[in-house]
C-alpha cells in the first residue's frame, strides 16, 4: 500500500519540482578573477581559460546548481538562500519536462535559509500545496526530491520524520555569520548535496519543508526548514512585495543550566544579552532594544508573554509576530526584574 501511494505522490509533485541552474557572465568573472592578488598569475590565467571554455554562446558560465519547487500557478519558486543568494547571477529554472525558463530573485529571507524566484513567463505552472508543519508527528512518512549531487535531476528518496524542533550550527551563506538554526525537522530520507532547496513532502503530496542540510559525518540524518517559516514569507511577498522580519536588535545566547553556571547567572532560562564574538555589536544602534534601554548583560526573560527557553527562543516567538507589533517584554537588569513594551523593528 505504501509503495503504491509513494508512486502516486511522486507523480503528483514531480512536475512542480525544479532544478535551478546558476550562471554568471564570463566578463564579470574575468573582472573578479583579475582583482584577486593572492594567487599566482599562471594559476589565475589557467582558471580564466577554463571558464572561457565553459561559456555558452551568450557568454554565460555555469557556476552552480540546486533544487527548488513551484508554489504558485504564477511560477513562484521556493529554494534556499545559500543557493539563490546573489542578484548578479543569472538563474535558469529547468522543469521535469526539459523546459528552461529565466527566473529573477524576488525575495531573500534575512534570517532563515529561504529565498524565492519568479519564473519570467506568463504560463500557468503546476505547483505544490503547502501543508501545516505545526501538525507534524514523529514517524510520519515523507519524500525528499531534488537534484542530487548537482548532477542527478529528479532524485527521489523516502523516509520518515525522525526528529522535530532540532537545532544545528551552520553558516547559511558566505556573507553570513555562523549561527544556530532552530526548529528544524530531522529526517532519514536521503538529502544529498544538490537536493538542498527541494521539497520534503507528506503522503498527500503537500510540502512540509524545504531541504537544507545533511550531517556529512553521519548516515541518514538530514534537516529541513518547516514550511510554515516559508508560508509567512510568501504571505509577506504577496502583501508587501518583500519579506518583512521583525527583530529586537540584540545579540544573545539562550540561558540553560550550563550557561547559568558558566556566567554565574541567577536564572536558567531567558536570553543573556552578550556576544561571544567580539567583532559584532551586542546592541544594534537605533534598534528597538536600544530604544527601550536594554543593556549588555541584561537577561530577557519573556517576550510577548512567553518565557524564553531553549525550546522557545526569541526567534521562535518572533516567527508569530509582525514588524510594528507592540509586545510586552520582561527583563532582568542588575538583579531586578522590570516589564515594559517594545515596538518590533524590521530586520534588514
Residue 86 a catalytic site member: no
What is the spatial distance between Cα 261 and Cα 285, in angstroms, rounded to a whole number?
30
Span 45-80, pLDDT tens digits:
667 777 777 778 877 888 888 999 999 999 999 999
Grid cell for residue 327: 509586545
Alpha carbon distance 11, 5 (integer Å):
10
Low-confidence ranges of the chain (pLDDT < 70): 1-4, 33-46, 148-152, 169-180, 213-220, 276-280
Q: Is the CATH number 3.30.460.80 carried by domain 245-347?
A: no
Q: Which of 61, 103, 76, 85 is nearest to 196 (CA)?
A: 85
CATH tag, 16-119: 2.40.10.10
- Identify the pLDDT of residue 217: 47
pLDDT, position 46: 61
Rounded to the nearest 5 degrees, what angle is found at the Cα of 143, between the Cα atoms of 99 and 73? 40
| pTM (2 d.p.) | 0.77
State the catalytic residue, choosing from 23, 72, 79, 82: 82
- Comparing 16-119 with 245-347, is the CATH topology the same? no
CA distances from 134 to 37, 107, 214 (A): 50, 24, 22
State the burial class of residue 54 (Cβ atoms within 10 Å of its Cβ: 0-12, 13-18, 19+).
middle
- In DSSP terms, 225 is beta-bridged to 210
Q: Give the active site residue among 72, 112, 113, 131.
A: 113
Burial 33-42 (b: 16+ CB within 10 A, else e): eeeeeeeeee
User: Cα(316)–Cα(156) distance, rounded to whole angstroms?
Assistant: 31
Whether 196 is catalytic: yes
Give the long-range contacts of residues 131-137, CB within 8 A, separation 24 or more.
131/202, 131/204, 131/206, 131/207, 131/208, 131/227, 132/227, 132/228, 133/185, 133/208, 133/209, 133/226, 133/227, 133/228, 134/226, 134/228, 136/161, 136/164, 136/185, 136/208, 136/226, 137/161
Residues 6+ positions from 239 with CB-CB distance below 8 Å: none
What CATH fold (topology level) applies to the domain 133-240?
Thrombin, subunit H (2.40.10)
pLDDT at residue number 239: 82
Kindly name the residue from 196, 251, 287, 298 that is annotated as catalytic: 196
Give the tens place of pLDDT for each residue, 21-40.
998 888 877 777 666 545 55
pLDDT of residue 275: 74
**pLDDT value, residue 184:** 86
Sign of torsion, CA 38 39 45 51?
negative
Does 113 qualify as catalytic in the annotation? yes
CB hemisphere CA count around 66 (13 angstroms): 26
Domain boundaries of the chain, sorted by first residue: 16-119, 133-240, 245-347
Using CA atoms in the order 327, 179, 93, 51, what is the torsion angle rounded to 10 degrees? 150
Amino acid at each position: 500500500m505504501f509503495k503504491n501511494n509513494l508512486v502516486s505522490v511522486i507523480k503528483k509533485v514531480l512536475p512542480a519540482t525544479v532544478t535551478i541552474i546558476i550562471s554568471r557572465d564570463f566578463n564579470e568573472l574575468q573582472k573578479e578573477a583579475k582583482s584577486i592578488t593572492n594567487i599566482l598569475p599562471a594559476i589565475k590565467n589557467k582558471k580564466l581559460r577554463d571558464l572561457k571554455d565553459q561559456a555558452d554562446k551568450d557568454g554565460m558560465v555555469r557556476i552552480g546548481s540546486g533544487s527548488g519547487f513551484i508554489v504558485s500557478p504564477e511560477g513562484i519558486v521556493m529554494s534556499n538562500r545559500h543557493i539563490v543568494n546573489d542578484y548578479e547571477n543569472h538563474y535558469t529554472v529547468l522543469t521535469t519536462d526539459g523546459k528552461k525558463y529565466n527566473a529573477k530573485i524576488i525575495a531573500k529571507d534575512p534570517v532563515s535559509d529561504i529565498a524565492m524566484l519568479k519564473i519570467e513567463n506568463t504560463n500557468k505552472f503546476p505547483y505544490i500545496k503547502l501543508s501545516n508543519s505545526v501538525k507534524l508527528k514523529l514517524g510520519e512518512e515523507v519524500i525528499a526530491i531534488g537534484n542530487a549531487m548537482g548532477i542527478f535531476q529528479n532524485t527521489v528518496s523516502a523516509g520518515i520524520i525522525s526528529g522535530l524542533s532540532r537545532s544545528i550550527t551552520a553558516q547559511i551563506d558566505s556573507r553570513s555569520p555562523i549561527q544556530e538554526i532552530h526548529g528544524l525537522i530531522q529526517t532519514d530520507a536521503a538529502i544529498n548535496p544538490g537536493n538542498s532547496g527541494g521539497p520534503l513532502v507528506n503522503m498527500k503530496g503537500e510540502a512540509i519543508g524545504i531541504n537544507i542540510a545533511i550531517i556529512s559525518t553521519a548516515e541518514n540524518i538530514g534537516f529541513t526548514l518547516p514550511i510554515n517559516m516559508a508560508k509567512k514569507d510568501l504571505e509577506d511577498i504577496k502583501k508587501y512585495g518583500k519579506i518583512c522580519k521583525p527583530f529586537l536588535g540584540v545579540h544573545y545566547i539562550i540561558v540553560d543550566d550550563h550557561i547559568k553556571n558558566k556566567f554565574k547567572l541567577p536564572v536558567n532560562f531567558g536570553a543573556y544579552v552578550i556576544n561571544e564574538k567580539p567583532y559584532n555589536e551586542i546592541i544594534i544602534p537605533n534598534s528597538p532594544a536600544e530604544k527601550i534601554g536594554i543593556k549588555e548583560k541584561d537577561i530577557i526573560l519573556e517576550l510577548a508573554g512567553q518565557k524564553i527557553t531553549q525550546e522557545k527562543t526569541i526567534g521562535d516567538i518572533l516567527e508569530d509576530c509582525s514588524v510594528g507589533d507592540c509586545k510586552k517584554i520582561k527583563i532582568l537588569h542588575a538583579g531586578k526584574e522590570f516589564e515594559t513594551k517594545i515596538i518590533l523593528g524590521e530586520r534588514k
